[in-house]
Amino acid sequence: MIDRRHFMKKAAGSLAALGGLSLLQRAGLAAAKGSEESMILDALPGKEALIKKTYRPPNYETPVNYFDVAFTPNNRFFVRYHNAVIPEVKASEWRLRVGGDAVRTPLEFSLEQLRKDFKPVEIAALCLCSGNRRGLFQPPVPGVQWGSGAMGNARWRGVRLKDVLAKAGIDKSALEVSLDGADSGVLKTTPDFVKSLPLAKALDENTLIAFEMNGEALPHWNGFPVRLIIPGWTATYWMKHLTAVNVISKPLDNFWMKTAYRIPKDRFPSGQFSSQETETNMPITEIVVNSLITNLVDGQTLPATKLLEIKGVAWDGGNGIAQVELSTDGGISWQQAKLKQDYGRFSWRQWYQAFEPKGSGEYQIMARATSHSGVTQPLEPIPNPSGYHHNAVQKITIQLA
Amino acid sequence: MRKLFLLLSFFAASATAGENQIILKDKPGRDQVISQCAMCHSLDYITMNATILDRAGWEKTVGKMISVMGAPIDDADKQTIIDYLAQNYGK
């Protein structure tokens, strides 16, 4: 009840900018199904109001109606942290340390040097939390109860990690590249958030050390001044406030690699990370094919109309979207939606479809994306212990009255 | 109540304004939950997982906070916290 009152108070203040309380309210309530929580809109310093999941460490998701544009505005971009100490890094003082036991010459770079000494690259890519939609799993899975908004699409500009590593020189013994950021836990005893990539992914031409997002400096809450971009892979590897990359000859052995962010091997395609696999499980890596309706929410009532445009986005881990099919009769018949501009295989793809309702009443709307590799969304999410990769076909009911 | 007030004042230094509006159920064990859990994270982590975790789930979660996340919680407080969470925020 407290939360609810709090939400109403907060929402009243930011309503003008948000355009449509009922849509947001329902989106939030649907996302919180299964827990006692209700929705709170809150703005972190420098950000517009987002859906607050936890205050500290800050975990905030984007209301789905902001996914109606090709690129998610920086000040509406979702925020996700594991640890609560998040220093404000000064760009002039920031340094990237390149080291590790499998590097030839350890080096240090300033932001100026990165900009000056390496070829700039810009890639449009979806940044997607591994646990996006965890809150929609039934039975519920513990953890941050994300709705559909722990993602965002942006143009990332920076330099290639492979170019920077080449300058330091990679030894033949190199197996993985570990990544550390400036954030840490409150207690010294809390494990630092450090991740690793297989060498091949670190050397992929699309893996970037990024210092710009949608033509601007990265927002503090999205990793200022520099974060890693691994297009096609889930955001757990997209280290924010990047401070160190280490080329290492042994698999990184810590909680964040060996225990967290893992999925069962028998239920998902190969993870491309053999040095971290066990008999039964592997790290989550590539984003799975998925789609989202962005201008309607479950349970919504709309005035009867002759023409309703249904809009959304679709994405996968880098094959690109071949088609999106839409059903307005609960999956009995499907029509091809129209795809909008293609910003590259790592960007989400916007789609739309004009729907002519036969009259007032109830309609079940579903969207189903298929990638260029021929993979389609399942009707039910694939159960897994930590609630990752929720990519079931969305099914929402609307009323026309 | 005075003890709780002092605890809340202490955490206000690191907590955001919104976070201070999270009020956990006033039942035995709440002081220990606030002083131990809120050291590292806001208490909405508890309300967010209410009705998802049963007693065994809360036991596992509190155990993880101690053994993996390094929370310095002694055995007596650990039991008090598990009991409070299971009784007030359990499935």
pLDDT tens figures, A7-54: 333 333 333 333 333 444 444 434 444 444 568 999 999 999 999 999
Q: Which ipTM score applies to this complex?
A: 0.89
H runs (alpha helix) in B1-91: 2-12, 30-37, 44-48, 55-67, 75-89
A90 located within any domain: no
Torsion of CA A372, A374, A379, A383, to 10 degrees: -90
- Residues spanned by the domain of A143: 95-283
Q: Which of B42, B43, B89 to mutate to test the interface with A (most CBs of A within 10 A)?
A: B42
CATH number at residue A294: 2.60.40.650
Q: Are residues A114 and A200 in the same domain?
A: yes
Report pLDDT for B84: 98
Q: Are residues A274 and A360 in the same domain?
A: no
**Segments of chain A scoring below 50 in pLDDT:** 1-36
On the CB side of A257, how many CA atoms lie within 13 Å of its CA?
A: 23
Q: Which of B14, B19, B37, B44 to mutate to test the interface with A (most CBs of A within 10 A)?
A: B44
Q: How many CB atoms lie within 10 A of CB A118?
A: 18
Report pLDDT for B4: 47
How far apart (Å, rounded) are the C-alpha atoms in residues B42 and A84? 9
A88 located within any domain: no
Domains of chain B in sequence order: 2-89 (1.10.760.10)
Would the pLDDT of B58 be above 60? yes
Query: Looking at CA atoms only, how far is residue A114 from chain B in angstroms?
Result: 34
Would the pLDDT of B47 be above 90? yes
Q: Are residues A149 and A72 in the same domain?
A: no
Report pLDDT for A38: 67
Q: How confident is the model at residue B51 (pLDDT cuts 50, 70, 90)?
A: confident
Report pLDDT for B14: 57
- Tell me A170's DSSP state: B
Q: Are residues A104 and A183 in the same domain?
A: yes
A30 located within any domain: yes
Q: Are residues A217 and A344 in the same domain?
A: no
Q: Are residues A232 and A378 in the same domain?
A: no
Q: Are residues A55 and A114 in the same domain?
A: no
- Interior CA angle at B61 toward B60 and B64, to 5°? 85
Report pLDDT for A39: 87
CATH number at residue A149: 3.90.420.10
Q: Are residues A277 and A294 in the same domain?
A: no
What is the pTM (predicted TM-score) of this model? 0.91
Q: Are residues A155 and A250 in the same domain?
A: yes
Question: Do residues A126 and A315 make contact, with C-beta atoms less than 8 angstroms apart?
Answer: yes
- Residue the block writes with tokens 């100026």: A112
Cα–Cα distances in Å, from A109 out to A119, A370, B42?
15, 42, 36
Partner residue facing B16 (CB), from A56, A144, A145: A56
Low-confidence winner among A78-92, B11-25, B74-88 (lowest mean pLDDT): B11-25
B45 has a chain A CB within 8 A of its CB: yes
Q: What is the pLDDT of residues A143-174, one digit of tens each?
A: 999 999 999 999 999 999 999 999 999 999 99
Q: Are residues A246 and A298 in the same domain?
A: no
Q: Which of A21, A49, A80 lies at the terminal end of a domain, its last residue?
A: A80
B15 has a chain A CB within 8 A of its CB: yes
Count of structural domains, chain A = 3
Q: Which residues 10-69 of A have a C-beta within 8 angstroms of B?
A: 34-37, 40, 42, 52-57
User: What average pLDDT does chain B have?
Assistant: 88
